[in-house]
Structure 1
Amino acid sequence: MTEKDIILTSEGREELEKELSNLINVIRPQVIEELVEARAQGDLSENADYDAARNRQAEVEARIKEIETMLSKAKIIEDSNNLNKEIKVGTTVTFQNLKTKKEMTVKIVGVIEADPFESKISNESPLAKAMLGKSTNDTCEVRELKEPYKILIKDIK
């Protein structure tokens, strides 16, 4: 990871904190129990259960450290009243592709939270970069690897 801030919405921070709590309070004790059971089976040099439990422990500890690092470097974007109705990280935007006439609603979030299946796009995506700083009824051009296209901002929340 780079040394720059990690952008998270307050919702994203809460999800990471829940995952961290689950890893520390539920998963880690389960893995320790698996290690104890596997160790009780005897010879560790040919014990596949022990090796699997050690690998699982390494994965869990790595994820705990990763989340703790993300949370320590996180810049939290609060969902405040967007009085100027300007698009920024944390904003939900409804827009229309002017070529296809298709309307879509997305929420702009940091890279860590991006999930296109939940209509959450990264602030570093071409679409979000084109919209940031724009207002309702603004038209902007989205520059992708293929051909650029224009969109009309319909609503900002």
Structure 2
Amino acid sequence: MAKEFKLTQESLDKLKDELEYLKTVREKEVAEQIKEARSFGDLSENSEYDEAKNEQGKVFSRMAELENIISHAVIITEDMYSADEISPGCHFVVQDLEFGDEEEYHFVGSQEANPMDGKVSDESPFGKAMLGHRVGEIVEVEAPAGMMQYKVLDISKK
């Protein structure tokens, strides 16, 4: 079974726009670079040609990746989860019970996740542990440094 990619509608639209750009603009630009590089002569020692072919491979690879993600996307909607529990699309604040730090996160789809930017998904151990919990609950998260505990302080659907 193919892997599902959980995305918000906004993220899916961005991926579709990127794919459209690659197909209509970037692919033609790279083809033109290859054509121009061929005109320089001997292809065996033509670094411009090699670079253009490498770029073409990157473009085609990204297009294939985007087509796979788009074809296996599952749109996250707010009505998939209760309004008072941590779920994809929500913002939530937790307190690290060991250090007392408060941290805010945005629960996003797997393709949007960026923990350094406060965006987590259900594919990370932290996101998976938080999913479904409510305000006031203590959540244990297994981390490389050992078991960590967080208290859920706030959940909002912005």
Q: So what's the TM-score if we normalise by structure 1?
A: 0.89
Question: Structure 1: where are the runs of 5+ without partners?
Answer: none
Q: Does the 8 Å contact 2:81/2:87 carry over to 1? A: no
Q: What letter is aligned with 2:32?
A: E
Q: Which residues of 2 match residues 1-150 of structure 1 at below 5 A?
A: 3-80=2-79, 84-150=83-149
The farther-off stretch of 116-125 and 66-75 is 116-125
Q: What letter is aligned with 2:116?
A: F
Q: Structure 1, residues 95-136: CA drift from partner, whole Å, max 9, x if none?
A: 111121111111122322211232111212222122111111
Counterpart CA distance in 2 for 1:48 and 1:38 is 8
Counterpart CA distance in 1 for 2:78 and 2:14 is 15
**SS of equivalent residue, structure 1 residue 111:** coil
Count of aligned positions: 156
Counterpart CA distance in 2 for 1:99 and 1:109 is 26
Q: What letter is aligned with 1:67?
A: L
Q: Shift of residue 143 of structure 1?
A: 1.6
Q: What letter is aligned with 2:147?
A: P
Question: Structure 2: where are the runs of 5+ without partners?
Answer: none
Q: What letter is aligned with 1:151?
A: Y
Q: Structure 1, residues 56-92: CA drift from partner, whole Å, max 9, x if none?
A: 1111011101101110001111245965311122221
Identity of aligned residues (%): 37
Counterpart CA distance in 2 for 1:135 and 1:99 is 20
**SS of equivalent residue, structure 1 residue 112:** coil
Q: CA RMSD in A?
A: 1.9
Counterpart CA distance in 1 for 2:144 and 2:116 is 21
Change in 2 beyond 3 A, CA 1:156/1:110 = same
Q: Shift of residue 42 of structure 1?
A: 1.9
Counterpart CA distance in 1 for 2:110 and 2:28 is 30
Q: What letter is aligned with 1:39?
A: R
Q: Does the 8 Å contact 1:90/1:108 carry over to 2? A: yes
Counterpart CA distance in 2 for 1:29 and 1:90 is 36
**SS of equivalent residue, structure 2 residue 111:** helix
**SS of equivalent residue, structure 1 residue 156:** strand
